[in-house]
């Protein structure tokens, strides 16, 4: 299907000849020559967006004033928040978010028929790739058969979902599925799918070259910005609209420049650099902004390190973390098997259109930070958030402070200083872990060891964030080799796993003979997928889990992932830390977060002598030589030669061949959602909210994991009860993430995180609230009771509401519970957009008001007026009626940010808007 370029874009259209072949392209210098403005000092990341304006300029959705706004942006010092319509080249999905997206498309086919249209009108106009990577769990570990067992269990659990996806692959055009066992979507995108400069045929039959861009239904889509591909995460709702040809409405963002200088010191990894960057950018404040990295330090930064930093843009809060095209970009494209003609095109295009980074690259930025890589030290991050940076030499003492805080123990009155608390101390010296003091411990039944606060029970090399990087993966293998040679192994209570992000990683570890060393320490291959990082860590051994529960222990996980939010990794681990792969191996050997890896011995060798981290840590030279000699272009070409083929299990899956899906009534994985049932041909208005009650009163940093968890759930939960009623045994529950094609399960799982705290209740964890009868009950049951009474609901939050993953179910579940509005102090970008996309209105407190200053208890009601005539980001009046009958008038800021978003909410959501539009066409 050709791209349709704008009718008014010819003034900037030029021809680029590369190796004897002509490519049409839209030239930014030509736009300047045509009098549209001076764009020379725009950051490369904004030039990518500007090119999109030039290519799709049609005088309606994209005008010449939109293009001139970019010149004004530079003149104004990096600020001009004009609303624009942006069209990414393609869409990337993973199966947790992809299944509900395909469910929505299937439901829209039913819906458009009901409105008099044709089913085939619902079809992706832009290329869509869905990579199945979120479903494999770590059931088996530490044995050579772990991979085989886990794959078998994956197919056993998910066959209904896979049948549905195979139907989607045949029913929809422009839609490809990468089967299970291939890799993680972002790593497959980085290593194979992305081209940096994309080519396609336009409506005139000419080949057009333009920057490779995408949106993805996973927040870590930003990883590919390390390869100079502009991409970011959106909710499935917004992605579906983009698939169907709807432009993404956005404001021209501010761009924060992050100057990198120097080079990493000996013993410091890309993960340490990343965690430092996350902390700095979180402190600077980059929500809703682009970040672009520049400076001479990039000359010493391999692309794998850049991708690692780009991956965690959601953790530092930015829309993306972009790296301009340079020689390292070309080197990586060549090493990973891209065609030479493509690589030549990338260089020629980047130089011709001002996207090339050279030594004189110094654009205008909205603000600038700077980091000398030589200042970076080894670090981890935790115990609850990616931005909770802890230098490694302070990790043990910081964990001790966390235990004190969790146990709510008083600080000492004296002004003593100890290594366990810093100045003033967080605890008395006699409370050192060696004396245990207030630390809790418990015997593991049937074993000869005890667990205690700080026992590391999960050590996982997982996630595309780090397994995409051969330098840290080789480092992990070398740590294992050196440890094995000294007779060291993991502690018996540590569940170890290795889940690479692509088959290429497994191949180079095998070729370097490092997999055997990792196996010896229990890091056997468990699958190709996200596993522990997404919460698919699998169950701990029953006796270990029982000891943790019975003794109320603060058990620990250490993973090389990007997320460590509460309740995400495992229901048995209270404290979760992000670390580099070699540090994950080291913590598996130590088995205890209380051990200071920089000073204490990890373990004793076979001769009874202490072994320290420095004794098994490889040098930078060792790692580089191993990568250079082992990671080859041929590996990438071989492993991606049949990427869409899958194994025998995938090829044997049978599915129906029809335009619309038959929605098997017995399925508990895929159900026809209610969004488009009985839909009217015309939209309505945005009604005022009157007498809405509070469903949940929540604090700061409520993540989408809190709102819509992805992991396991108990049989006593509303979701568990639903499955039991449908004859699903507990063993087959799977996870919330895998059940996202069933709205009945997901409604019951909304706000059901085991660690969420509703401030209406006193110290209660989990998804509970008060129902209309004033009694404590589950949030789901309370919401259904309020709906039966016809009472609208609101949710109250603090700062950074909706941080974390781009999961659309955090908004879908909110809507289906009957929530009309979410009122918070501030919103993270993706979740705000998802709420609007489902017709739920986000509001922000103004004038210093917060849930605390307003003294909200949860028994109040809210009336919000002026919504029928609301404009983007308008202030609206709100009246709070307290439980005693008194009232207070406040002003809320409506976070419907653009004019098109007003239309979306009037229609009941963006998909309803698209569906009505297509039906009329």
At 249 the pLDDT is 86
At 46 the pLDDT is 98
CB 412 within 8 A of CB 438: no
- Per CATH, the number for 379-410+444-631 is 3.30.499.10
Q: How far is CA 728 from CA 157, 430, 580, 724, in A?
A: 11, 51, 39, 5
CB 141 within 8 A of CB 523: no
The boundaries of every CATH 3.30.499.10 domain in the chain are 379-410+444-631
The boundaries of every CATH 3.20.19.10 domain in the chain are 689-705+754-920
At 1 the pLDDT is 65
At 423 the pLDDT is 34
At 465 the pLDDT is 84
pTM of the model as a whole: 0.87
349: three-class secondary structure by DSSP: helix
* 360 burial via Cβ count (<10 Å: 0-12, 13-18, 19+): exposed
Q: What is the distance between the alpha carbons of residues 366 and 807, in angstroms, rounded to a whole number?
A: 29
At 410 the pLDDT is 52
What is the DSSP code string of 93-151?
Answer: EEHHHHHHHHHHHHHHHHHHHHTT--GGGS--SS-EEEE--S----SS-SSTTHHHHHH
778: three-class secondary structure by DSSP: strand
Q: What is the distance between the alpha carbons of residues 199 and 210, in angstroms, rounded to a whole number?
A: 6
Question: Within 10 Å of residue 250's Cβ, how many Cβ atoms?
Answer: 20
Name the DSSP class of 681: S
At 424 the pLDDT is 32
Q: What is the four-CA torsion angle of 112, 118, 122, 127, rounded to 10 degrees?
A: -170
At 657 the pLDDT is 85
Pairing of strands 819-824, 841-845: parallel
Could you tell me how far CA 159 lies from the centroid of its own chain? 25
At 9 the pLDDT is 79
Polymer length in residues for the chain: 921
Low-confidence ranges of the chain (pLDDT < 50): 411-437
- Per CATH, the number for 689-705+754-920 is 3.20.19.10
Spatial CA neighbour of 233 closest among 702, 833, 738: 833
In 409-503, DSSP assigns E strands to 441-443, 450-452, 456-461, 495-498
Contacts of 241 (CB under 8 A, 6+ apart): 248, 837, 910, 911, 913, 914
Stated as kind and residue range, the H or E segment containing 367 is strand 367-372
């Amino acid at each position: 299907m050709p791209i349709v370029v704008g009718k008014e874009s010819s003034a900037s259209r030029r021809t680029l000849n590369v190796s004897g072949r002509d490519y049409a392209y839209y030239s930014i210098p030509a736009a300047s020559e045509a009098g549209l403005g001076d764009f020379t000092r725009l950051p490369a990341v904004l030039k990518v967006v500007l090119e999109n304006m030039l290519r799709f300029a049609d005088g309606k959705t994209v005008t010449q004033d939109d293009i001139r706004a970019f010149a004004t942006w530079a003149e104004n010092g990096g600020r001009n928040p004009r609303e624009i319509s942006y069209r990414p080249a393609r869409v990337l999905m993973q199966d947790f978010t992809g299944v509900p997206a395909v469910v929505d498309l299937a439901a829209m086919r039913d819906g458009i028929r009901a409105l008099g249209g044709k089913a085939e009108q619902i079809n992706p106009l832009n290329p869509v790739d869905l990579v199945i990577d979120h479903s494999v769990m770590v059931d088996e570990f530490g044995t050579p058969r772990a991979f085989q067992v886990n794959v078998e269990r994956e197919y056993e659990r998910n066959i209904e979902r896979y049948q549905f996806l195979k139907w989607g692959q045949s029913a929809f055009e422009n839609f490809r599925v990468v089967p299970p066992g291939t890799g993680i979507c972002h790593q497959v995108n980085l290593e194979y799918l992305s081209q940096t400069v994309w080519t396609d045929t336009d409506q005139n039959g000419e080949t057009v070259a333009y920057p490779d861009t995408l949106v993805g239904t996973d927040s870590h889509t930003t990883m590919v910005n390390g390869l100079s591909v502009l991409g970011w995460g959106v909710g499935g709702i917004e992605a579906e609209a983009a698939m169907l040809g709807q432009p993404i409405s956005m404001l021209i963002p501010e761009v924060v420049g992050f100057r990198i200088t120097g080079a990493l010191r000996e013993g410091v990894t890309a993960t340490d650099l990343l965690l430092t960057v996350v902390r700095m950018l979180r402190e600077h404040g980059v929500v809703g902004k682009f970040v672009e990295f520049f400076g001479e330090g990039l000359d010493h930064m391999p692309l794998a390190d850049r991708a690692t930093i780009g991956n965690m843009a959601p953790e530092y809060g930015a829309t993306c973390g972009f790296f301009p095209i340079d020689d390292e970009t070309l080197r990586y494209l060549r090493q990973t098997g891209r065609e030479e003609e493509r690589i030549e095109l990338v260089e020629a295009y980047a130089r011709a259109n001002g996207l090339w980074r050279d030594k004189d690259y110094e654009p205008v930025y909205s603000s600038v930070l700077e980091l000398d890589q030589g200042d970076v030290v080894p670090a981890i991050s935790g115990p609850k958030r990616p931005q909770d940076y802890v230098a490694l030499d302070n990790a043990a003492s910081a964990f001790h402070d966390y235990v004190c805080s969790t146990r709510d123990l008083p600080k000492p009155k004296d002004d003593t200083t100890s290594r366990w608390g810093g100045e003033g101390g967080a605890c008395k010296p006699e409370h050192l872990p060696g004396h245990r003091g207030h630390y809790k411990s418990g015997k593991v039944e049937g074993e000869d060891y005890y667990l205690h606060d700080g026992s590391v029970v999960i050590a996982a090399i997982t996630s595309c964030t780090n397994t995409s990087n051969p330098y840290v993966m080789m480092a992990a293998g070398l740590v294992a080799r050196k440890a094995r040679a000294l007779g060291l192994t993991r502690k018996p209570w540590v569940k170890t796993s290795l889940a690479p992000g692509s088959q290429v990683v497994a191949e180079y570890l095998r070729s370097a003979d490092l997999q055997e060393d990792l196996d010896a320490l229990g890091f056997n291959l468990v699958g190709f997928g996200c596993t522990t990082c997404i919460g698919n860590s699998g169950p701990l051994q029953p006796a270990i889990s029982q000891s943790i529960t019975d003794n109320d222990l603060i058990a620990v996980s250490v993973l090389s992932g990007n997320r460590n939010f509460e309740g995400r990794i495992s229901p048995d681990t209270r404290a979760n830390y992000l670390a580099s792969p070699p540090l994950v191996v080291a913590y598996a050997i130590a088995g205890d977060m209380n051990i200071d890896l920089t000073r204490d011995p990890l373990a004793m060798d076979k001769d009874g002598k202490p072994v320290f981290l420095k004794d098994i840590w490889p040098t930078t030279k060792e790692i580089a030589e191993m990568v250079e000699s082992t990671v080859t272009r041929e590996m990438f070409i071989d492993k991606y030669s049949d990427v869409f083929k899958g194994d025998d299990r995938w090829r044997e899956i049978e599915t129906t061949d029809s335009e619309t899906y038959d929605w098997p009534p017995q399925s508990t994985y895929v159900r026809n959602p209610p969004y488009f049932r009985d839909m009217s041909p015309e939209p309505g208005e945005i009604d005022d909210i009157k007498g809405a009650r509070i469903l949940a009163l929540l604090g700061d940093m409520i993540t989408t994991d809190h709102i819509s968890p992805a992991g396991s759930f108990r049989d006593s939960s509303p979701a568990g009860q639903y499955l039991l009623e449908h004859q699903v045994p507990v063993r087959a529950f799977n996870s919330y993430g895998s059940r996202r094609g069933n709205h009945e399960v997901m409604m019951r799982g909304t706000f059901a995180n085991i660690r969420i705290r509703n401030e209406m209740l006193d110290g209660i964890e989990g998804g509970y609230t008060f129902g209309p009868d004033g009694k404590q009950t589950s949030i789901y049951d309370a919401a259904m009771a309020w709906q039966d009474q016809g009472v609208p609901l609101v949710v109250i939050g603090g700062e950074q509401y909706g941080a974390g993953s781009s999961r659309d179910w955090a908004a879908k579940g909110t809507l289906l519970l009957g929530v009309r509005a979410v009122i918070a102090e501030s919103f993270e970008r993706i979740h705000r957009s998802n709420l609007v996309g489902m017709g739920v209105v986000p509001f922000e407190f103004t004038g210093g008001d917060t849930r605390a200053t307003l003294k909200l208890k949860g028994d109040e009601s809210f009336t919000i007026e002026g919504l029928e005539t609301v404009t983007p980001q308008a202030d609206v009046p709100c009246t709070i009626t307290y439980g005693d009958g008194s009232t207070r008038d406040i002003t809320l800021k409506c976070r419907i940010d653009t004019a098109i978003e007003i239309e979306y909410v009037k229609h009941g959501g963006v998909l309803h808007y698209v569906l009505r539009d297509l039906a009329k066409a």
